[in-house]
Amino acid sequence: MGRTRVTLLRGDGIGPEIAAATIQVLDAAGAQLEFDEALAGVRAVEELRDPLPQVTIDSITKNRLALKGPLSTPVGQGFRSVNVALRQHFDLYANVRPIQNYPGVPSRYQGIDLVLVRENTEDIYAGIEHYVGPGRSAAESIAIITRHGSERIVRYALELARREQRKRVTLVHKANILKYSNGLFLDVGREVAKEFPDLAFDDLIVDAAAMKLVTAPERFDVIVTTNLFGDILSDLCAGLIGGLGLAPGANLGREVAIFEAVHGTAPDIAGKGLANPSALVLAAALLLDQVGQGDVARRVRTALRSALASEEARTADLGGRGDLQTFTDAIRRAL
Ligand SMILES: NC(=O)c1ccc[n+]([C@@H]2O[C@H](COP(=O)([O-])OP(=O)(O)OC[C@H]3O[C@@H](n4cnc5c(N)ncnc54)[C@H](O)[C@@H]3O)[C@@H](O)[C@H]2O)c1
């Protein structure tokens, strides 16, 4: 089998460390991938004076696949989020975030196995924001929800549920207050769900969903929601299983797919060799599934599971005594 070419964005903060660890794991697992390195984020600004250079966009356009470390976004000012720009440029409308427990990893809950499907291009992330009136006396951010965007994301979630033999899809919204934008999302969702009579479909208001996720998380199977709620709830879901270090994400469009960790650049531990690479390793496994290397993906997940079960090997964020290198070595040994 030929090697699949993938654009590699190592990212900022802990990105380069966890990307190097992930590549070591992929090599040990025999993944047939070839990486084209490209820059984005802070390093791209430093070297090319552009957080998302055209050469990076060209590389992803050519390969149609990318593995991406986290990128830092300045708060309140400075350049716009490169993550949001990538999602919008390539119309990566589905952000798929699987959340499940790993044996031996300390966590408040057990028995969790859910997938959060976040709409990835619309809502308050559409980028329509400005000050209103003189000075900075007021500001507005406009949420855009379209019938087209709602239909394709809910359909994606229902098809995923069917493909993975899951039972229930829960649409999360705030249609009681945001009657127009979220009302449209809910109405379209209910219409699309009628085409999937084999699946249970229900809906929850986001505040109730947040409460239920911490009181009865095992109730959930597939969640589909709008961009902002998906952003917030996916960190909440990562918290259910032991933390952000375990949550991968796939940004999927019709042409291009970008795989990443849900977490950010973790500036508090960057450069210290303490980061947990699991989320990016799991993101790479999702990529391998996508390109028909499911056997390699299974090997990677099994080895990761065995390393995670060892308190000696796993990293401190998961209550372990290991660091990035001991943990990566344990995964490679298991392979
Ligand atoms: N997809 C992305 O690229 C992405 C996602 C979220 C945040 N960010 C960016 O990351 C930067 C920092 O954001 P933040 O501090 O709010 O969130 P963060 O996810 O970087 O960190 C939150 C906490 O989780 C810990 N953590 C995160 N990942 C970890 C890992 N792999 N191993 C061990 N501990 C880990 C951090 O040490 C920190 O205490 C910001 O610039 C933000 O915009 C990027």
- Name the nearest CA neighbour of 293 among 7, 31, 25, 98: 31
Give the whole-angstrom CA distance, residue 232 versus residue 260. Answer: 17
What is the per-residue pLDDT across 184-226, written as a single tens digit (0 to 9) for each? 999 999 999 999 999 999 999 999 999 999 999 999 999 999 9
Q: Tell me the CA–centroid distance for residue 210 and ligand 1, in Å.
A: 21
Query: How far is it, in rounded angstroms, from Cα 190 to Cα 167?
Result: 16
The answer on pLDDT for 81 being more than 90 is no
Among residues 209, 225, 240, which one ends one of the domains? 240
Considering its fold, how many domains does the chain have in total? 2
pTM to 2 decimals?
Answer: 0.94
Strand (E) or helix (H) holding 40: none
Nearest alpha carbon, ligand 1 atom 8: 264
Domain that holds residue 67: 1-93+246-335
Ligand 1 probe mutation, 265, 272, 276, 282, most atoms within 8 A of CB: 265
Identify the pLDDT of residue 104: 86
User: Do 150 and 183 meet the contact criterion of CB atoms below 8 Å apart?
Assistant: no
Residue 69 lies in a domain: yes
Q: Output the ligand 1 site: residues, CB below 6 A.
A: 14, 70-73, 83, 244-245, 260, 263-269, 275-276, 279, 317
Q: How far is the CA of 5 from the centre of ligand 1 (A)?
A: 27
Judgement on whether residues 55 and 122 belong to the same structural domain of the protein: no
Sheet containing strand 200-205, strands side by side: 33-38, 4-9, 65-68, 257-261, 248-252, 94-100, 113-119, 222-225, 168-173, 200-205
The Cα-based distances of 250 to 34, 49, 65, 183, 222 in angstroms read 19, 28, 11, 27, 15
Residues 201 and 158 both lie in one domain = yes
Q: Average of pLDDT values for 112-117?
A: 96
How far away, in angstroms, is 132 Cα from ligand 1 center?
32
Compute the average pLDDT of residues 34-46.
94
Read off the DSSP letter of residue 235.
Answer: H
> Which residues form the catalytic set?
125, 174, 207, 231
Confirm if 5 and 65 have CB atoms less than 8 A apart.
yes
pLDDT of residue 79: 67
Question: Quick one: 251 and 324 in the same domain?
Answer: yes
User: For position 45, which CATH number holds?
Assistant: 3.40.718.10
Domain stop point among 215, 240, 265: 240
CA-to-CA separations, 206 to 7, 25, 108, 152, 211, in angstroms, rounded: 35, 38, 22, 20, 9
Out of 87, 228, 263, give the residue to mutate to test ligand 1, the one with the largest number of ligand atoms within 8 Å of its CB. Answer: 263
% pLDDT > 70, the chain: 98
Tell me the best of 86, 231, 234, 244 to mutate to test the pocket of ligand 1, counting ligand atoms within 8 Å of each CB and taking the most.
244
The verdict on 75 and 190 lying in the same domain is: no
Nearest-atom index, ligand 1, CA of 69: 3
Residue 99 included in any domain: no
